[in-house]
Structure formats: C-alpha cells, structure tokens
Amino acid sequence: MDTSAINTLVRPLVAADIPAITALYDWHVRHGCASFEEIPPGVDEMQARVAKVLGLGLPWLVAEIDNRVVGYCYAAEYRPRPAYRFTVESSVYVAADLGGRGIGLALMRQLIAHCERGPWRQMLAVIGNGEQNAASVGLHRRMGFVTVGTLKDVGFKLGDWRDTLIMQRALATA
C-alpha cells in the first residue's frame, strides 16, 4: 500500500469499487481527451473490463482518500498476439477535481512495482491528446517513461483532431 500522496491509500480494486471507477471515468470520456472513447461505459461494461484484466493476472488498483475512490490504474495486455505477452499497457485516471496532488504518482508507483514482480518486461503508455496532455506526460516521464513515438491526428474528439503519444518504460527483469 502506498500513502505517498497525503491521505491517499492505494489498494487492489474490489467489486464494490466498480460504480465509483465507472463514474470517475465517465467524466474523462465526456469532458477529457485522454480517452478516445466518446460514450462512457456503464457499470456492467466496466465490470467486464475489470474481469478481463484481473483474469490475465494483471493488476487493477484504486486510490482512495477518506473512503472516496479518487483514482484508478491498471495494466492490460498491450496486444493479444502471443509475441506481445511480456508487454503491458498502463492506464491511469484521477478524479478531475484532484489532479496535481500526487494521486497518479502513488497509483503508478504501485502499478509498476506490481508488474515488476511478474513476467513482464516492458510497459507502454498510450496517451490520448499527445503532448497536450501535460499532466499525464509529466507523470509518465517522472516514472521513467520515454517518448517513443507520436501518431498524428488519429482521433477526433470534442470537435478536434487528437494525437496519441506512445511512451515506454522497461520493467525490472529477474
């Protein structure tokens, strides 16, 4: 458990957290550009996504402050083809009203530590809205990710074309 952000507890997700993470993500889908989804998933869809991640033995973590879920992160398979089995993709979302308080950092520290205990060798971050998403880019740089590419104008959201920035970080190997 990580308490690096003041009063933030990072822990594994439990089923009771799914409505809260669904609501948190809803804001990002409707108002943000980090996710290229345009229709927020419902609780049932989010539950299926969580089950898929956990079913692969990958982590899904939540951050809470005063019993309120204020962020979450997870590692998912990067691609389904077998040759990619040692590469994971990270995702991290923080409540819109709590950015810049170290919640994302606390989450990512735990996510990386968990993945470094497994068989995975590389972690990718596929960041919607590219370099315009300064908070996410800064968080990932702080965690040792480097930019490896930009896909230009690959998403159209909220009336504008959006880039995707790809960042990569090696995980500890045994």
* pLDDT tens digits for range 98-150: 988 899 999 999 999 999 999 999 999 999 987 788 899 999 999 999 999 99
Q: What is the pTM of this model?
A: 0.92
- Per DSSP, the three-state class of 96 is helix
Domain boundaries, the chain: 9-170
- Per DSSP, the three-state class of 128 is strand
Edge-to-edge strands, sheet with 9-12:
9-12, 60-65, 68-77, 87-94, 122-128, 160-170, 146-157
Burial class of residue 55, CB neighbours in 10 A (0-12, 13-18, 19+)? exposed
For domain 9-170, the question of CATH label 3.30.9.10 is answered with: no
- CB-CB contact of 146 with 168 (8 Å): yes
